[in-house]
Amino acid sequence: MDYQQRLPEIEALVRETFSLWDEQRVGFSWRHYYLNHSLRVRALALTLARQEGADPDVVAYAATLHDLTKRYDGALALDANGKRRLDRDGYWVTETLPPARANHVTALYDELGLAGQVHHLSGAALTERILAEAGYPRPFINAVAHAIRAHVTPQNATAAELEALYRPPEARVLHDADLMDANLGLVAFYRNIQIHAGRALAQTGAPLDPRAYIELVAPWVETKDPFLPRFRTATGQAMAAARQERNRQLVAWIAVEQPLGEPAWHYGVLGVITLFLEEPEDPSLTRALQHLQTEWLPARRAELARDGRAPHAAALLARAEQFADLLRDEVAGRI
Ligand SMILES: [Fe+2]
Ligand SMILES: [Fe+2]
């Protein structure tokens, strides 16, 4: 079977499924996050797979499908004391959010009675069924479903159970790519921006003030150090450490730009942060990066050419360019 040639069919099904809900923001996610995250995780997982000897076809399918049922996750369920409710296995329980429209995936979800299951298990069950219907070989299906099941680490598993779960390199690679995308590097920084932007929008109805947000970046980067030992591959550990270093660099850049005032908010990384905070209702990293590269940066290059004597402007813009290049390479799973 030509796995690569048939992957676009699977990707189209995932894309269609994510589009069946109309909610723009749910919890720590937003409408465009699901697909953008899945495609970034795939790119990164394929980079890790090359270094770790994992099967690239299993990894590509598992990454594409890993969050297939994630849009069913609604608000976190709370207990009588207002605390987040945990299930028997220690996972946060969420309300089930029904889609506004149906497709083959949602029909199977109902048929298999998957409502209420955690998304990595319901996603694995659906994947098995979808790939079997499409005639994929059983060992391939099992390997893909196993990696999807393992992408969230069980809370109460024994050491022996974990060893078995993460024995296949495909499972380790997908786990690491998923953990990395959400927590480390400039892609995770964008996620943090949007989490705060969404919270501000819900609480005040207004966009978040970028000057208030930048005070939160250094403490956020600190919270990510404990993630570094959780990576399961040597390549994942090295990339995670490099991304955390990149975010410390970002904190240093913000500290340099802050005293420069207005030019930094126009030409620098602070200007990029302002751009990212402009569409809090319906954000998209893919769209924002595209805009940054094709409109925001070229407009400022042209301005700088006319306004070359503005103090620090050239250095600020060079930094914004560097930020955009690094973000692009992370989105492509290269770094
Ligand atoms: Fe997930
Ligand atoms: Fe994920």
Structurally, the chain folds into a number of domains equal to 2
For the cut 90, the answer to whether the pLDDT of residue 169 exceeds it is yes
Distance 178 CA to ligand 2 centre (A): 5
Q: How far apart are CA 275 and CA 285, in angstroms?
A: 11
Query: In the structure encoding, which two tokens stand for residue 71, read together?
Result: 């849009």
Domain shared by 42 and 173, yes or no = yes
Distance 78 CA to ligand 2 centre (A): 23
Q: Which ligand is nearest to the CA of 33?
A: 2
Q: Which ligand is nearest to the CA of 38?
A: 2
pTM: 0.96
**pLDDT number for residue 27:** 86
CB–CB of 57/63 below 8 Å?
A: no
Domain shared by 171 and 191, yes or no = no
Q: Which ligand is nearest to the CA of 182?
A: 2
Q: How far does CA 137 lie from the centroid of its chain? A: 30
Task: Give me the CATH number covering residue 55.
Answer: 1.10.3210
Q: How far apart are CA 125 and CA 123, in angstroms?
A: 5
Distance 48 CA to ligand 1 centre (A): 18
pLDDT tens for 132-142 read 999 999 999 99
**pLDDT number for residue 78:** 86
Degrees to nearest 5, angle at CA 32 with 29 and 38: 85
Distance 314 CA to ligand 2 centre (A): 38
Q: How far apart are CA 148 and CA 126, in angstroms?
A: 10
Q: How far apart are CA 329 and CA 35, in angstroms?
A: 18
Query: In the structure encoding, which two tokens stand for residue 20, read together?
Result: 């069946």
Query: In the structure encoding, which two tokens stand for residue 212, read together?
Result: 């208030």
CB–CB of 172/55 below 8 Å?
A: no
CB–CB of 207/201 below 8 Å?
A: yes
Phi/psi at 311 (5° precision): -60, 135
**pLDDT number for residue 87:** 84
**pLDDT number for residue 325:** 98
pLDDT tens for 261-313 read 999 999 999 999 999 999 899 999 999 999 999 999 999 999 999 876 777 99
Q: Given 156, 177, 198, which residue is the final one in a domain?
A: 177
Degrees to nearest 5, angle at CA 174 with 42 and 216: 80
Confidence of residue 75 (pLDDT cuts 50, 70, 90): confident
CB–CB of 320/268 below 8 Å?
A: yes
Phi/psi at 75 (5° precision): -65, 150
**pLDDT number for residue 242:** 98
Distance 184 CA to ligand 2 centre (A): 13
Distance 266 CA to ligand 1 centre (A): 36
Distance 148 CA to ligand 1 centre (A): 8
Instruction: Give which of 112, 132, 40 is closest to 69, Cα–Cα.
Output: 112
Distance 320 CA to ligand 2 centre (A): 28
**pLDDT number for residue 89:** 80
80: containing domain: 3-177
Distance 266 CA to ligand 2 centre (A): 34
**pLDDT number for residue 88:** 79
Domain shared by 164 and 195, yes or no = no
243 within a domain of the structure (yes/no): yes
For the cut 80, the answer to whether the pLDDT of residue 233 exceeds it is yes
Task: Quote the percentage of the chain above a pLDDT of 90.
Answer: 90
Distance 67 CA to ligand 2 centre (A): 5
Q: Which ligand is nearest to the CA of 179?
A: 2
212 within a domain of the structure (yes/no): yes
CB–CB of 191/182 below 8 Å?
A: yes
Instruction: Give which of 302, 303, 281 is closest to 31, Cα–Cα.
Output: 281
Interhelix angle 3-18/33-52, rounded to 10 degrees, is 150
Q: Which helix (H) or strand (E) holds 321?
A: helix 313-331
Confidence of residue 93 (pLDDT cuts 50, 70, 90): confident
Domain shared by 173 and 191, yes or no = no
Confidence of residue 224 (pLDDT cuts 50, 70, 90): very high
Task: Look over the chain and give the mean of its residue pLDDT values, rounded to a whole number.
Answer: 96
182 within a domain of the structure (yes/no): no
**pLDDT number for residue 279:** 87
Residue 143 Cα distances to 58, 158, 170, 171, 233, angstroms:
7, 21, 8, 9, 18
Contacts of range 298-305, beta carbons closer than 8 Å, 24 or more positions apart: 300/266, 300/267, 300/271, 304/267
List the shell of residues around ion ligand 2, using CB closer than 5 Å. Answer: 67, 178
Domain shared by 164 and 92, yes or no = yes
Distance 267 CA to ligand 2 centre (A): 33
163 within a domain of the structure (yes/no): yes
List beta partners, residue 177: none
Q: Given 120, 149, 177, which residue is the final one in a domain?
A: 177
**Region for residue 232 given its phi and psi (left: phi exceeds 0; alpha: psi -120 to 50; beta: otherwise):** alpha
Q: What is the DSSP string of 160-204?
A: HHHHHHT-SHHHHHHHHHHHHHHHSSHHHHHHHHHHHHHHHHHHH
What mean pLDDT comes out for the span 312-331? 97
CB–CB of 197/280 below 8 Å?
A: yes
Domain shared by 231 and 317, yes or no = yes
For the cut 90, the answer to whether the pLDDT of residue 327 exceeds it is yes
Q: Given 177, 203, 237, which residue is the final one in a domain?
A: 177
Distance 61 CA to ligand 2 centre (A): 13
